[in-house]
Structure 1
């Protein structure tokens, strides 16, 4: 465990979590895209900021809650001098340990991917700050014998509270613990958290000890998309991110994403975007 001084953005960090408190942004940010390996949960408590999340622009204002899964691509652009936020980064392994409520609802996963910024009301925002300040205070007091257990319980309680708030915005399917749903979530876990992503259904099927046909059938049943569709969905995000980085050559992207050669990559991009990699770059606007 490591405590960081209060004048830094990172208040506390270990291999499970990072606690952030950025109360003094002193300049305009204009950074290259970065990919988060952890879950992100941040609340804007003052000011506003413009940020790109998975290549889509969002404005963040007071009481907006940023919630993102691992492998999300961020790019900060414009931040007002009065912009303040606080929150957590949580490792995927830790979230699995503390999540008593199912986080494996496909419609909830999709909702968060499509709505990474959630506008909270004053009551919801105040509730988050209560949990945040209480958790933070535990790390600022003298060492406690059951500190880890206390933090786990507080985060679990917050997850329950947040789950209730989410149900006001979207119908969350009840937890499913059957073999089909477990297989689907295991497939998503491998797909989302791997990089570069394998594009063959058989690769994932082999890891999950099922046939490609069965895996696709389960994916279609639960999500409405085949395993191949889901693979393409996430590979497309990686390609978009890299093509929007002007410092990356097409050849470097081919190598980074583990394509066989330039020709195969060009045909793949043409199929999913309708244009060649070069044409895609010519058509997009860079925000640098």
Structure 2
């Protein structure tokens, strides 16, 4: 039987009645869900702060060395796996997409934080030493709130989580302020949001520039200035990433993946993928599954 990568939601990972939030120390969480070291996806936001341990963590096929006081932010749909070297501990928070929407007037409030953009380079943060005590205190308060059913407990959890996001987000805000104006930063984020919605149908920078009411040259210059790559490459990178995510699902044939990504035929998809990765889709699938085997499980 063909294998399909597991897709976990919060209620499959918790005995809690709350389906929108899970907060735990990492060691018992890992012990309870030992299969989570294998490649898998989540339908929710996933936040991990390591306080001790070593090993590696792969997010969307990029490898990172696990270090104490390192924090990982993952958004729904990303593929990740980890391999630890000895005991590991820290904190984990899983929360659903709507968890803050009923609490904040701005439904897209989290979008302003670069670590929730889906960009791997922004998703892994080594906490400065000066921030470590306060961050640990916030996570300890979150654990306590999750264990004690007090009045307005979920609201307190949201407030504490926002403190974590804002304090860590300020690190990125300072760098962004030095690199790009507020207008251009917003413009770039809107471009990336549009790609998320249309990458299977809109492939050219001019299509996105039209939606953003700017010229293709402006969009291209913006991407080169901030990201170091042209707008067309930003679009192509997102298509390649989705192709990789789909390729580790053995339920799908290469032809079916090509169709999902709106390629006219299988051969064109193969040429496109090899041009940008150096491997054919079949070679990528074989190499990835060799290093990241997974169980025949599908959880939604």
TM-score (norm 1): 0.70
| Higher-helix-fraction structure | 2
Contact 1:70 1:192 in 2 (8 A): no
Say if 2:192 is the partner of 1:188. Answer: yes
Q: Deviations over 1:213-259 (max 9, x none)?
A: 55334434443432211111222222233345555431232133232
Match of 1:141 in 2: 149
Could you give the per-residue CA deviations for residues 198-219 of structure 1, whole angstroms, max 9, x where no partner exists? 4333443454355545533443
Given that residues 71 and 127 in structure 2 are in contact (C-alpha distance below 8 angstroms), is that contact kept between their aligned partners in structure 1? yes
Distance 1:205 1:222 in 2: 16
The CA distance in 2 between the partners of 1:92 and 1:220, in whole Å, is 31
**Residue 254 (structure 1) aligns with:** 258
> Do residues 83 (structure 1) and 83 (structure 2) align?
no
> Match of 1:131?
138
CA distance in 1, matches of 2:253, 2:202: 21
Unaligned runs of 5+ in 1: none
Mapped pair 1:113 → 2:120: yes
Contact 1:21 1:85 in 2 (8 A): yes
Q: Among 34, 38, 47, which residue is 1:41 paired with?
A: 47
TM-score by length of 2: 0.68
Partner Cα distance (2:111, 2:246) in 1: 35
How many pairs does the alignment contain? Answer: 273
Counterpart-to-counterpart distance in 1, 2:209 and 2:64: 36
Q: CA RMSD in A?
A: 4.3
- Structure 2: gaps of 5 or more residues: 1-9, 294-300
Match for residue 74 of structure 2? 68
Q: Which has the higher contact order (CA 8 A, sep 6+)?
A: 2
Structure 2: distance between partners of 1:63 and 1:55:
22
Q: Is the 8 A contact 1:10 1:19 kept in 2?
A: no
Would the aligned equivalents of 1:215 and 1:227 in 2 still touch at CA under 8 Å? yes
Contact 1:70 1:193 in 2 (8 A): no
